[in-house]
Structure 1
């Protein structure tokens, strides 16, 4: 049941993000990109075969991969969160400058007729 809820949550985030990307206002496009990145981060995190109370680093000796947690997906998601935050901040600055120069917050810079 939790797998279905997780899959629906990822699908809802990505679907809402794609829908917002097709909107004419730049703020909606930025929110859409953020929702897609959240959905992708959740997908990567869910594919990592999460385990609790196991060490993340392999010790010397006989190695059984089932006894260890995989730290790579967690590191990738953390890096993606930081990069996504910086990209969103940059997009917001570009949005404010574009709105100040054109007087509109439409993606193409002009109001529809």
Structure 2
């Protein structure tokens, strides 16, 4: 139980990923699927940022002298997550644009109704 309490960020990331994955699986609405994908993205960002954090170390911002190289947190995971956030926002915009085009073409954003209209 103590391990679970100490790793609450990891547990939260896994639960969020599961929620997003279940939304993707269980809903036919494209907007809900996009929301599920965003929840999954956010859980991955939470996981990697919590992995990159080391208690007792400082951000690599030099103010008032340089510490030993072991005194700083590695900035690469944070930079990668910022890049991931930009990619996730771009993909969300692209998926929303495709959803708008599907709505204009079929008049619905429900996947089962689109399949019925297409005859599949």
TM-score normalised per structure 1: 0.80
Structure 2: tracts of 5 or more residues without a match: none
Q: Contact 1:20/1:29 (CA < 8 Å) preserved in 2?
A: yes
The CA RMSD measured in Å over matched residues stands at 2.5
Q: Structure 1 stretches (4+) deviating beyond 6 angstroms? A: none
TM-aligned CA deviation for residue 51 of structure 1 = 4.9
- Judging changes above 3 Å, is the alpha-carbon distance between structure 1 residues 93 and 55 closer, same or farther for their aligned structure 2 residues? closer
Which residue number in structure 2 is paired with residue 29 of structure 1?
A: 33
Q: SS in structure 2 opposite 1:70?
A: coil
TM-score normalised per structure 2: 0.76
User: Number of residue pairs matched?
Assistant: 107
* Cα shift readout 1:15-46 (whole Å, capped 9, x = no counterpart): 01100111211111101110110000111111
Structure 1: tracts of 5 or more residues without a match: none
More helix by share: 2
- Judging changes above 3 Å, is the alpha-carbon distance between structure 1 residues 55 and 39 closer, same or farther for their aligned structure 2 residues? closer
